[in-house]
Protein backbone atom coordinates (compact mmCIF):
# COMPACT_ATOMS: atom_id res chain seq x y z
CA UNK A 1 0.00 0.00 0.00
CA UNK A 2 1.32 3.35 -0.97
CA UNK A 3 0.51 6.43 1.03
CA UNK A 4 -0.06 9.67 -0.83
CA UNK A 5 1.30 12.71 0.95
CA UNK A 6 -0.53 15.98 0.35
CA UNK A 7 1.62 18.65 -1.16
CA UNK A 8 2.47 21.44 1.23
CA UNK A 9 2.47 25.05 0.12
CA UNK A 10 3.69 27.23 2.96
CA UNK A 11 2.67 30.46 1.16
CA UNK A 12 -0.98 29.44 0.80
CA UNK A 13 -3.40 31.05 3.29
CA UNK A 14 -5.03 27.63 3.69
CA UNK A 15 -1.74 25.97 4.44
CA UNK A 16 -1.46 22.31 3.56
CA UNK A 17 -5.18 21.64 3.69
CA UNK A 18 -6.41 23.71 0.78
CA UNK A 19 -6.19 23.12 -2.94
CA UNK A 20 -3.24 24.49 -4.78
CA UNK A 21 -4.15 27.60 -6.73
CA UNK A 22 -2.83 30.99 -7.57
CA UNK A 23 -3.34 33.69 -4.92
CA UNK A 24 -6.28 35.96 -5.76
CA UNK A 25 -6.48 39.69 -5.44
CA UNK A 26 -9.05 40.79 -2.84
CA UNK A 27 -11.92 42.75 -4.29
CA UNK A 28 -13.18 45.85 -2.58
CA UNK A 29 -16.61 45.34 -1.05
CA UNK A 30 -19.31 47.14 -2.96
CA UNK A 31 -21.02 49.92 -1.08
CA UNK A 32 -24.65 49.40 -0.38
CA UNK A 33 -26.87 52.35 -1.14
CA UNK A 34 -27.77 54.30 2.01
CA UNK A 35 -31.19 53.62 3.38
CA UNK A 36 -33.45 56.60 3.60
CA UNK A 37 -34.10 57.47 7.24
CA UNK A 38 -37.63 56.78 8.38
CA UNK A 39 -39.24 59.71 10.12
CA UNK A 40 -41.21 58.93 13.25
CA UNK A 41 -44.26 60.56 11.67
CA UNK A 42 -44.13 57.98 8.85
CA UNK A 43 -44.35 54.94 11.15
CA UNK A 44 -47.73 53.19 11.31
CA UNK A 45 -48.33 53.70 15.07
CA UNK A 46 -47.38 57.36 15.23
CA UNK A 47 -49.72 59.28 17.58
CA UNK A 48 -52.02 56.30 18.13
CA UNK A 49 -51.89 56.55 21.92
CA UNK A 50 -52.05 60.35 21.82
CA UNK A 51 -55.19 60.24 19.71
CA UNK A 52 -56.65 57.51 21.90
CA UNK A 53 -56.12 59.66 25.02
CA UNK A 54 -57.71 62.72 23.40
CA UNK A 55 -60.71 60.78 22.04
CA UNK A 56 -61.32 58.97 25.34
CA UNK A 57 -61.17 62.21 27.34
CA UNK A 58 -63.59 63.84 24.91
CA UNK A 59 -65.98 60.89 25.33
CA UNK A 60 -65.71 61.10 29.13
CA UNK A 61 -66.38 64.84 29.10
CA UNK A 62 -69.37 64.29 26.83
CA UNK A 63 -70.65 61.52 29.11
CA UNK A 64 -70.51 63.82 32.17
CA UNK A 65 -71.45 67.06 30.47
CA UNK A 66 -71.86 69.86 33.02
CA UNK A 67 -70.10 67.91 35.78
CA UNK A 68 -66.50 68.21 34.51
CA UNK A 69 -64.26 70.51 36.54
CA UNK A 70 -61.85 72.88 34.85
CA UNK A 71 -58.16 72.00 34.80
CA UNK A 72 -57.23 74.51 37.51
CA UNK A 73 -59.59 72.99 40.13
CA UNK A 74 -58.60 69.99 42.22
CA UNK A 75 -61.08 67.31 43.27
CA UNK A 76 -60.25 65.60 46.59
CA UNK A 77 -62.14 64.30 49.60
CA UNK A 78 -63.48 61.19 51.33
CA UNK A 79 -66.05 60.55 48.56
CA UNK A 80 -63.59 61.08 45.69
CA UNK A 81 -62.08 58.07 43.87
CA UNK A 82 -58.92 58.25 41.76
CA UNK A 83 -58.23 56.04 38.75
CA UNK A 84 -54.88 55.89 36.92
CA UNK A 85 -55.67 55.87 33.20
CA UNK A 86 -52.21 55.55 31.66
CA UNK A 87 -51.91 52.17 29.95
CA UNK A 88 -53.59 51.46 26.64
CA UNK A 89 -55.82 48.84 28.30
CA UNK A 90 -56.93 51.35 30.94
CA UNK A 91 -57.55 54.06 28.35
CA UNK A 92 -59.74 51.67 26.35
CA UNK A 93 -61.58 50.51 29.52
CA UNK A 94 -62.34 53.79 31.32
CA UNK A 95 -65.64 54.52 29.55
CA UNK A 96 -67.00 51.05 30.33
CA UNK A 97 -65.70 51.38 33.91
CA UNK A 98 -67.53 54.66 34.45
CA UNK A 99 -70.74 53.15 33.01
CA UNK A 100 -70.36 50.27 35.47
CA UNK A 101 -69.99 52.76 38.34
CA UNK A 102 -73.14 54.58 37.18
CA UNK A 103 -75.02 51.24 37.24
CA UNK A 104 -74.14 50.57 40.90
CA UNK A 105 -77.34 51.10 42.94
CA UNK A 106 -77.49 54.27 45.11
CA UNK A 107 -74.40 55.75 43.43
CA UNK A 108 -74.45 58.99 41.48
CA UNK A 109 -71.39 60.82 40.19
CA UNK A 110 -71.48 64.49 41.18
CA UNK A 111 -68.25 65.82 39.62
CA UNK A 112 -65.37 64.53 37.55
CA UNK A 113 -61.85 65.82 36.94
CA UNK A 114 -59.35 64.50 34.37
CA UNK A 115 -55.89 66.06 34.71
CA UNK A 116 -53.47 64.97 31.97
CA UNK A 117 -50.14 63.28 32.78
CA UNK A 118 -47.36 64.29 30.42
CA UNK A 119 -44.40 62.10 29.47
CA UNK A 120 -42.55 65.16 28.23
CA UNK A 121 -43.47 68.60 26.97
CA UNK A 122 -45.04 67.23 23.78
CA UNK A 123 -46.24 63.73 24.64
CA UNK A 124 -49.16 62.67 26.83
CA UNK A 125 -48.66 59.63 29.04
CA UNK A 126 -52.32 59.31 30.03
CA UNK A 127 -54.55 60.97 32.59
CA UNK A 128 -55.98 60.58 36.06
CA UNK A 129 -59.71 60.32 36.58
CA UNK A 130 -61.07 61.73 39.83
CA UNK A 131 -64.80 61.40 40.43
CA UNK A 132 -66.93 62.34 43.41
CA UNK A 133 -69.88 60.17 44.39
CA UNK A 134 -72.91 61.21 46.44
CA UNK A 135 -72.56 58.88 49.43
CA UNK A 136 -69.28 58.51 51.34
CA UNK A 137 -70.48 55.14 52.68
CA UNK A 138 -70.62 53.75 49.11
CA UNK A 139 -66.91 54.38 48.32
CA UNK A 140 -65.85 50.86 49.38
CA UNK A 141 -68.62 49.32 47.28
CA UNK A 142 -67.56 51.35 44.23
CA UNK A 143 -63.87 50.52 44.77
CA UNK A 144 -64.64 46.80 45.09
CA UNK A 145 -66.82 46.89 41.97
CA UNK A 146 -64.05 48.56 39.94
CA UNK A 147 -61.34 46.19 41.21
CA UNK A 148 -63.50 43.11 40.59
CA UNK A 149 -64.46 44.04 37.01
CA UNK A 150 -61.37 45.89 35.73
CA UNK A 151 -57.94 44.44 36.41
CA UNK A 152 -56.25 47.53 34.96
CA UNK A 153 -57.72 49.69 37.76
CA UNK A 154 -56.49 47.64 40.72
CA UNK A 155 -54.63 50.72 42.01
CA UNK A 156 -57.80 52.79 42.42
CA UNK A 157 -58.07 54.55 45.77
CA UNK A 158 -59.92 57.22 47.65
CA UNK A 159 -58.31 60.58 46.88
CA UNK A 160 -58.14 62.14 50.32
CA UNK A 161 -56.98 65.66 50.98
CA UNK A 162 -53.22 65.52 51.44
CA UNK A 163 -51.96 66.39 54.90
CA UNK A 164 -49.25 68.62 53.44
CA UNK A 165 -51.68 70.95 51.71
CA UNK A 166 -53.80 71.47 54.86
CA UNK A 167 -50.85 72.46 57.05
CA UNK A 168 -49.52 75.99 56.99
CA UNK A 169 -45.87 76.42 56.04
CA UNK A 170 -43.46 76.16 58.96
CA UNK A 171 -42.59 79.42 60.66
CA UNK A 172 -38.94 80.06 61.32
CA UNK A 173 -38.25 81.81 64.65
CA UNK A 174 -34.48 82.11 64.22
CA UNK A 175 -32.89 85.18 65.82
CA UNK A 176 -32.17 88.01 63.44
CA UNK A 177 -28.48 88.55 62.74
CA UNK A 178 -27.12 92.09 62.94
CA UNK A 179 -23.89 93.46 61.54
CA UNK A 180 -21.10 94.01 64.06
CA UNK A 181 -17.90 95.96 63.60
CA UNK A 182 -14.63 94.36 64.63
CA UNK A 183 -12.02 96.23 66.62
CA UNK A 184 -9.01 96.36 64.46
CA UNK A 185 -8.51 93.99 61.67
How do residues 1-59 score in pLDDT, each as one tens digit? 556 565 555 565 555 555 555 656 667 667 777 777 777 777 778 889 999 999 999 99
Instruction: Please give the Cα distance from 146 to 153 (Å, whole number).
Output: 7
Per the CB < 8 A criterion, the answer to whether 66 and 109 are in contact is no
How do residues 64-86 score in pLDDT, each as one tens digit? 999 999 988 899 999 999 999 99
**Exposure of 93 by Cβ count < 10 A (0-12 exposed, 13-18 middle, 19+ buried)?**
buried
Band of the pLDDT at 120, cuts 50, 70, 90? very high
Per the CB < 8 A criterion, the answer to whether 149 and 107 are in contact is no
Report the CATH number of the 46-161 domain. 3.30.70
pTM of the shown model: 0.66
Label the pairing between strands 80-85 and 124-133.
antiparallel
Instruction: Please give the Cα distance from 155 to 48 (Å, whole number).
Output: 25
Going from N- to C-terminal start, the domains of the chain cover 46-161
Amino acid sequence: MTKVEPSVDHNSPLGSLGPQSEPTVEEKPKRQPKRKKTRLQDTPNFRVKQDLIENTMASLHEMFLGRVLSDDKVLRGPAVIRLHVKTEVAIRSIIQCMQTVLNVPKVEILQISTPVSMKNRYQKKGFLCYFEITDVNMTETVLNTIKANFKCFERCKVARQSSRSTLSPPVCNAPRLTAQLSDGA
